[in-house]
Amino acid sequence: MRPIMTAMTIVISLGLGGTTLHAQTWQMPPDSQRCPSKWGAGDQRGSGNMMKPETVLRAAKLIRTGEVFELGAVLSPDPREAFINAGRVFNIYTKPSPPIPNARQVNEELVVTELGQIGTQFDAFAHQMWGDSFYNCFKLGDIGTRTGFKKLGVEHVGGLVTRGVLIDVAGSKGVDMLPTSYNITPEDLQQALAKARQRLQPGDAVLIRTGWSKLMGKENERYGTLNPGIGIAAGQWLLAQEPMMIAADNCCVEVRPSERPHSLPIHAMMLIQHGVYLLENLELEALAAARAYEFAFIVQPLKIKGATGSAIAPIAVR
């Protein structure tokens, strides 16, 4: 704990704080500078374009033991079992049938929820906009409807298979969990990678462990509002490594509260400006315990037409 707390004490005593320093290093560029996307005008897949046959083959070569790690959290209406973001709901209503002697019967359920933004989730590009402008400068007035977005819906993502890398920041610092609202820096990421003897490659799925998934279903309010996560500087460093997606075992991937004066700047940076997917609320404890730092990462968002995201149950295989 001491290295983290010492660093935090220093920045607070200087009256600066890492958030203030980093907050001045990023601003959303105007549409004329960020569009068209590097994947071309009209593109809707962003970093999903990085998945090629060779990407899948590279990931497949990492499977040596056949060990599978399930990274999705359980969905439940019970707050003692699951984390549901404030303002969102997950309700399940069983539709049982009366038994018939010596005959088949059927049971089903009705699930009422924000299926695109619940539990372990995948953020698509329709999820965030700057003013009225989305990724690749699609405009709300052109693509927004009450029955789904005409462009940038999660159905355009498809199945993703790529090399996954676990960056265990908590583990590299010798702590069970990072402190409340700890701002993960580029140096934190680099040190964790060095300890794991890993280097990021273009097209990777980057999974960041803070240790905070232990709070899901136990301290949901704290988990969802005061979590450690990557700051602006770390986000910019990750972008330079050309990831396909960035995931974490916390709410929102980035540090909460946000670095002043921003509101979820990593979301804006990744989803709007650069077209990089974000995955939230992963379960990474088993992966870290097994010291599985490199693996095949597989995720398939539901094909919900026009949706802003999808509940997911990703897996890592090594």
Confidence at 87, pLDDT banded by 50, 70, 90: confident
CA 255 to chain centre: 12
pLDDT at 10 over 50: no
What one-letter code names the amino acid at 135? Y
163, part of any domain: yes
Confidence at 242, pLDDT banded by 50, 70, 90: very high
pLDDT digits 0-9 by tens, 277-313 = 999 999 999 999 999 999 999 999 999 999 999 999 9
CA 236 to chain centre: 16
Write the DSSP string, 253-285: SB-SSPSTT-SSHHHIIIIIII--EEEES---H
37, part of any domain: yes
Give the integer Cα–Cα distance in Å for 206 and 241. 10
31, part of any domain: yes
Residue 33's domain is classified under what CATH number? 3.50.30.50
| Section 18-43 average pLDDT | 81
Give the integer Cα–Cα distance in Å for 167 and 294. 10
| Section 159-172 average pLDDT | 98
Whole-number pLDDT of residue 25 = 81
Choose among 273, 279, 272, 286: nearest CA to 301: 279
Phi, psi of 82 (to 5 degrees): -150, 160
Tokens of 18: 């890492």
pLDDT at 166 over 90: yes
What number of residues does the chain have? 318
pLDDT at 20 over 90: no
Give the integer Cα–Cα distance in Å for 34 and 189. 27
Cβ pair 169, 184 in contact under 8 A: yes
Whole-number pLDDT of residue 127 = 97
Whole-number pLDDT of residue 211 = 97
| Section 179-206 average pLDDT | 98
- Consecutive H or E run containing 187: helix 186-196
262, part of any domain: yes
Cβ pair 303, 207 in contact under 8 A: no
Tally of structural domains, the chain: 1
Cβ pair 116, 310 in contact under 8 A: yes
87, part of any domain: no
- Residue 35 belongs to domain spanning: 21-78+114-317
How far is residue 164 from each of residues 149, 160, 192, 194, 294, measured CA to CA in Å?
Answer: 30, 11, 15, 16, 6
Whole-number pLDDT of residue 194 = 98
103, part of any domain: no
Cβ-in-10-Å burial (0-12, 13-18, 19+) of 68 comes to middle
Whole-number pLDDT of residue 284 = 98
pLDDT digits 0-9 by tens, 104-141 = 999 999 999 999 999 999 999 999 999 999 999 999 99
| Section 90-101 average pLDDT | 95
| Section 43-58 average pLDDT | 97
Phi, psi of 90 (to 5 degrees): -140, 115
Whole-number pLDDT of residue 307 = 98
Confidence at 85, pLDDT banded by 50, 70, 90: confident
Tokens of 139: 């405009």
Phi, psi of 145 (to 5 degrees): -140, 170
pLDDT at 148 over 80: yes
pLDDT at 12 over 90: no
Q: Which residue, chain included where needed, has tokens 């964790």?
A: 192
- Give the SS3 label for residue 113: strand
Q: Which residues are registered as beta bridge partners of 229?
A: 183
pLDDT at 236 over 80: yes
6, part of any domain: no
- Kindly report the pTM of this predicted structure: 0.90
In whole numbers, what is the pLDDT of the chain averaged over residues? 92
Confidence at 23, pLDDT banded by 50, 70, 90: very low
204, part of any domain: yes
pLDDT at 29 over 70: yes
Confidence at 1, pLDDT banded by 50, 70, 90: very low
Choose among 243, 249, 297: nearest CA to 274: 243
Whole-number pLDDT of residue 6 = 34
Count CB neighbours of 254 within 10 A: 30
pLDDT at 274 over 60: yes
Whole-number pLDDT of residue 92 = 95
Cβ pair 227, 251 in contact under 8 A: yes
Whole-number pLDDT of residue 309 = 97
Nearest 5 degrees, angle CA 261-CA 275-CA 257? Answer: 25
Whole-number pLDDT of residue 66 = 97
